[in-house]
Amino acid sequence: MTQLFKCRMIYEKLMKYVLFFDEITKEDVAKVGGKCANLGEMTSRVRVPVPYGFATTSDAYWLFLEENKLWPRIEKELSKIKNINDTKTLKQVGKKIRSMIIKARMPKVLEKEVKKAYEMLGKEYVSVRSSATAEDLPGASFAGQQETYLNVKGEKKLLENIKKCYASLFTDRAIFYRQQKGFEHSKVALSVAVQRMVNSVCSGVMFTLDVRNGDSSKIVIEGSWGLGEYIVQGRVTPDNFIVRKKDLKIIEKHIADKPVMLKTTLRGVIEKKVPKKLRNKPVLSDSEIKKLAKYGLELEKHYEHAQDVEWAKDKDGSLFILQTRPETVWSEKKEKEEEKISGKILLKGLPASPGIGAGKVKIIMDIKEVGRVRPGDVLVTTMTNPDMVPAMKKAEAIITDEGGVTSHAAIVSRELGIPCIVGTSTATNILKEGQPVTVDGERGFVYEGIIKAKVKKKEFKKVKTKTKIYVNIGIPEIADKIAKKPADGVGLMREEFIIATYVKEHPLSLIEKGRQEFFVKKLAEGIEKVVKAFKPRPVILRFSDLKTNEYRELKNGEKYEPHEHNPMIGWRGCSRYISPEYEEAFRLELRAVKKVRKKYKNLWVMLPFVRTVDEVKKITRMMEEEGLKRSKDFKLFLMAEVPSNIFLADLFSQYCDGFSIGSNDLTQLILGVDRDSEILGRMGEFDERNLAVKRAIQHLIKTAHKYGKTVGICGQAPSEYPDFTEFLVMNYIDSISVNPDVVEKTRFIVHEAEKKRDEIAKHLKKSAKV
């Protein structure tokens, strides 16, 4: 990576329309689209292997359109679409626009930069992928066609494929989805990712939840020989592996017959027969499955969201992550409970998208026939493709002969909320045109006739609990959406994300430049978005808890941050706030809080990584000097994540309103286990449910309550372990703050635990009287 970094440094001042991956972060979606932003983020910030490359920027795309005077002509064509369900007009318009783009010339300045960047990659074989600036975001998966060209070599071919990617922004499917989801065509640009090719022995996809039912405790990995495109297309039924997250145990294996594969050759990408000895052999060993699952956990942890990942294994045995994006279906889907149905089963397949749908069979064997699909039909085909999306939207259910749970049919059906069964092998032969059927996408059954079934929704919002159920949040932009959940407030608002994305520059650097007000303004803006969305419910803001290695990643950060061998227990939290080197910067955080509290009184604060009582004393004095004094409507909490917080809970209680248990750090420091250690993780050494950790929590709750202080928890454990949540309730914890996706589930678990706890208490009270 050193050589590549030097290459980038040589050319970075010359580049305007091209960025190398290590120059890009996830905040650059507007410049390079979601796909390229994630490739850059993984390259620079996440511990997963990514093939190196570069991206053309959205500015390059607009330059291309401007120099060729294309946009007025494109708008004129798009205006001809009066109805997005008019398939004929949609195809005509899309074809005309794509032709315009492919025939246009590449601007000289852009061509020069692309050639220079390609030279830096050694002019090797590369893959060329599109990355629309509105794609790979929740609810916008199809803002741009996700086009891929493999095994590209030579400057001429590279430039041609970049133009093809530009044209892919106007495929029928892309135009349909942008209009259907309300995206303005002029607001979506396109970036192109150019990556070194991986000579794929095998490849596939990975979801960090079970896409069949949304179970977030599992990871699903699918793979086949050769390139992964045949999995998405449904051309092959892949091997399927299910991995349990908590210990990376492989709990399910389904090895498929894989007769063909897609391979790269000097003549391009071709289909080849899989050697007989490999057809029924797993594409991955157990150790490789676990390594991939580990990468999946790293990505999910980093992005704080379930991920949809593409992977490949090189001929030398190395595993690579090709791209990642947010999983956009189950993360937003409300939990549903389907009523079981019974009847004559005509067909079985893989459950790909849950729900029950019934209608008359419409068999589509050719893309030219999609116009025959009417609303309420059950679409039956060999395998869907992107051009079928408008027809799929009309269907009541979808059945395919081929494909796995991550094939095109499965993915699109889940986003559209349509029941789907894939990999039936014989649906197009067994089912008859016009035949009435009922499709159970939850269990993978096709029944004869129309069977009425009711859908029951779990009404979590109606469940009341004595224990407060809060939510954890780090991204202000999703506050309005998360605020709609039945949470009692925000138990943990992380300040780090705002600093990294709104401020971007090291606080001490801004102070040196005299830009203190910029820091205060930007930090206050981010905080206010969350506080306003949740008003009048309380929002507990945790002051910045970046480690030295994380602060160094901010602009000019290396100038102010020391190199620590173990930043996890280094200069962080309260010790940073009171140090002479950083005190002024912390006071800016206090001023941002004061600024927000002038408008919203539901903002409270919390101190992270408190080591000593003296630290709290000094910080509370600083807070008072900045006009932030504890009161009935302004509370101060301490993170309980250091063993001293437990042993000295009686002393800490004198200077705060309550504690919030950080179960990750507390477990790590009590057990002496690095929570990021792969070896110890596999061994199950890091476990918040360890008896020592539980006893520490019991002691804290008991001591805090004795002094009239509240205790909550905002670590990861309650989001993952229902039994741990029950333990907390049994010990009368005051609040539990969890990830947004499990708020409803957690409240239900707490509700049941409280009933059990109160029954036990009632029984003990009666026994005492006797």
The pLDDT confidence band at residue 746, using thresholds 50, 70 and 90, is confident
Q: How far apart are CA 89 and CA 43, in angstroms?
A: 42
Of 197, 179, 206, 29, the closest CA to residue 90 belongs to 179
For residue 327, is pLDDT > 50? Answer: yes
* Contact indicator for 163, 101 with CB cutoff of 8 Å: yes
Give 289's contacts (C-beta < 8 A, 6+ positions apart): 221, 241, 243, 250
pLDDT digits 0-9 by tens, 396-447: 999 999 877 656 677 667 656 689 998 898 999 999 999 999 999 888 899 9
User: Considering all CA atoms of the chain, what is the largest pairwise distance in Å, rounded to the nearest integer?
Assistant: 93
Token pair for 518: 């910029």
For residue 704, is pLDDT > 80? Answer: yes
- Is 656 considered catalytic here? no
Q: Is 226 left (phi over 0), alpha (psi -120 to 50) or beta?
A: left
Give backbone dihedrals phi and psi of 298, rounded to 5 degrees, phi first.
-60, -45
How many C-beta neighbours within 10 Å does residue 375 have? 10
Report the pLDDT averaged over residues 646-669.
94
The active-site residue out of 305, 408, 506, 751 is: 408
* Contact indicator for 166, 190 with CB cutoff of 8 Å: yes
| DSSP category for residue 144 | S
Q: How far apart are CA 686 and CA 700, in angstroms?
A: 21
Of 242, 254, 372, 216, the closest CA to residue 744 belongs to 216
pLDDT digits 0-9 by tens, 77-127: 998 988 877 888 889 999 999 999 999 999 999 999 999 999 999 988 898
* Contact indicator for 338, 442 with CB cutoff of 8 Å: yes
Q: Which of 201-205, 275-279, 736-740 has the lowest mean pLDDT?
A: 736-740
Q: How far apart are CA 367 and CA 337, in angstroms?
A: 35
- Is 714 considered catalytic here? yes
Report the pLDDT averaged over residues 658-679.
83
Of 444, 276, 454, the closest CA to residue 345 belongs to 444
Strand 658-661 and strand 636-640: pairing?
parallel
Q: Is 534 left (phi over 0), alpha (psi -120 to 50) or beta?
A: alpha
Class of residue 404 by CB neighbours under 10 A (exposed 0-12, middle 13-18, buried 19+): buried
Q: Which of 94-98, 390-394, 634-638 has the lowest mean pLDDT?
A: 390-394
How confident is the model at residue 729, as a pLDDT? Answer: 92
* Contact indicator for 467, 402 with CB cutoff of 8 Å: no
HEC profile of 23-79 = HCCHHHHHHHHHHHHHHHHHHHHCCCCCCCEEEECHHHHHHHHHHCCCHHHHHHHHC
Strand 350-353 and strand 455-457: pairing?
unpaired
The pLDDT confidence band at residue 362, using thresholds 50, 70 and 90, is very high
What angle (nearest 5°) sits at the alpha carbon of residue 429, between those of residues 424 and 432? 110
The CA R_g of the chain, rounded to the nearest whole Å, is: 28
Of 415, 215, 207, 222, the closest CA to residue 300 belongs to 207
The active-site residue out of 165, 506, 714, 751 is: 714
| DSSP category for residue 340 | P
pLDDT digits 0-9 by tens, 488-509: 999 999 898 788 778 889 999 9
What angle (nearest 5°) sits at the alpha carbon of residue 131, between those of residues 83 and 47? 140
Of 62, 61, 64, the closest CA to residue 108 belongs to 64
Q: What number of helices (H) and strands (E) belong to the chain? A: 30, 31
Measuring CA to CA, how many Å separate 152 from each of 102, 124, 225, 418?
17, 8, 20, 37
pLDDT digits 0-9 by tens, 253-289: 999 999 999 887 766 678 899 999 999 999 999 999 9
Q: How far apart are CA 450 and CA 446, in angstroms?
A: 11
Token pair for 453: 């079934």
Q: Is 598 left (phi over 0), alpha (psi -120 to 50) or beta?
A: alpha
Q: How far apart are CA 655 and CA 214, in angstroms?
A: 43
pLDDT digits 0-9 by tens, 471-481: 988 778 778 98
Of 564, 567, 576, the closest CA to residue 547 belongs to 567
Q: What whole-number percentage of the chain has pLDDT above 70? A: 88
Token pair for 557: 């950060």
